[in-house]
Amino acid sequence: MRLIRVKDYAAMSDEAFAIVYERMSANPKLTLGLATGSTPVGLYERLVSAVQTGKLSFREARSFNLDEYVGLAPDHPQSYAYFMREHLFDHIDLPAGRWDIPSGIAPDLDEECARYEAAIEAAGGIDLQILGIGPNGHIGFNEPGTPLESRTHVVELTESTRRANARFFERPEEVPTHAITMGLGTILRAREIILLASGESKAEAMAKLLSLSDFDPELPASALHRHPEVWVIADEAALSRV
């Protein structure tokens, strides 16, 4: 795990963009693993402007997202599918059909999880996975206690995660109780991983992550200690308790 310390959110986004830009320039057929939440928005803005100024193209790339809420259709404004269109897909040249997000409204959710794993495999796996981190150390929606070898599965969200994500919904009771997420095992199969962290609300999780040297199920992000190619890009506020 290599730690890149940066001043603030903008610098974190610049560093992440530099790595993604470099990998995509070297391999235009890159398969990306993408994340939602406020953390990667700055990275997505930089990718959009690189595409719009002709410096980068997603025409041959592919992407898979980490997770989706159960019960929200892709056109629901709080769904992760909507988020990705709004922040990235609608503004770049990634062809429809080359991005995939688990469907939270599939009639059989277990079947959808199996479909998703198979689709990632069929695409040759994920080359570069982008991750944020939840205040309780979750990655994707893998909450504390998730097994290391888990694959895409349905999870019940913890109260703390529902609270943390309530800011995006009009009323707290609208936050879904379940989600589909890539498992820790799915994430660890990516060839390279970038974990982004910004702000004081991540300081405790980051302090725990950096104090560990191996996987501790109480902090799902610590699974990354088992991966050989991880970049952690974190700002001063996120590292304030290290």
Residues 47-66 that bind ligand GLP (CB under 6 A): 66
Q: What is the DSSP string of 163-209?
A: HHHGGGSSSGGGS-SEEEE--HHHHHTSSEEEEEE-SGGGHHHHHHH
| Catalytic annotation present for 227 | no
Question: Is 35 near ligand GLP (CB under 6 A)?
Answer: yes
Pairing of strands 67-69, 230-235: unpaired
Question: Is 69 near ligand GLP (CB under 6 A)?
Answer: no
* Catalytic residue chosen out of the listed positions 138, 142, 153, 165: 138
Residues in the chain: 242
* Catalytic residue chosen out of the listed positions 67, 68, 117, 235: 67
Question: Is 37 near ligand GLP (CB under 6 A)?
Answer: yes
| Catalytic annotation present for 143 | yes
Identify which range of 91-99, 104-112, 132-140, 187-195 contacts ligand GLP by CB under 6 A. 132-140
Task: Record the tokens describing residue 180, joined without a space.
Answer: 């589909």
Is residue 93 within 8 A of residue 57, CB to CB? The reply is: yes
Nearer to ligand GLP, 28 or 139 (CB): 139
| Catalytic annotation present for 178 | no
Task: Record the tokens describing residue 110, joined without a space.
Answer: 């277990």
Question: Is 104 near ligand GLP (CB under 6 A)?
Answer: no
What DSSP state is assigned to residue 139? B
> d(Cα 153, Cα 113) in Å, to the nearest integer?
6
Identify which range of 36-44, 54-62, 71-79, 209-217 contacts ligand GLP by CB under 6 A. 36-44
Q: Tell me the helix, strand and coil percentages in the chain, rounded to 5.
A: 40, 20, 45
Candidate residues 150, 165, 186, 222; the one interacting with ligand GLP per rule CB under 6 A: 165
**Residues lying near ligand GLP in the complex (CB under 6 A):** 35-39, 66-67, 132-134, 140-141, 161, 165
Provide the annotated active-site residues: 67, 136, 138, 143
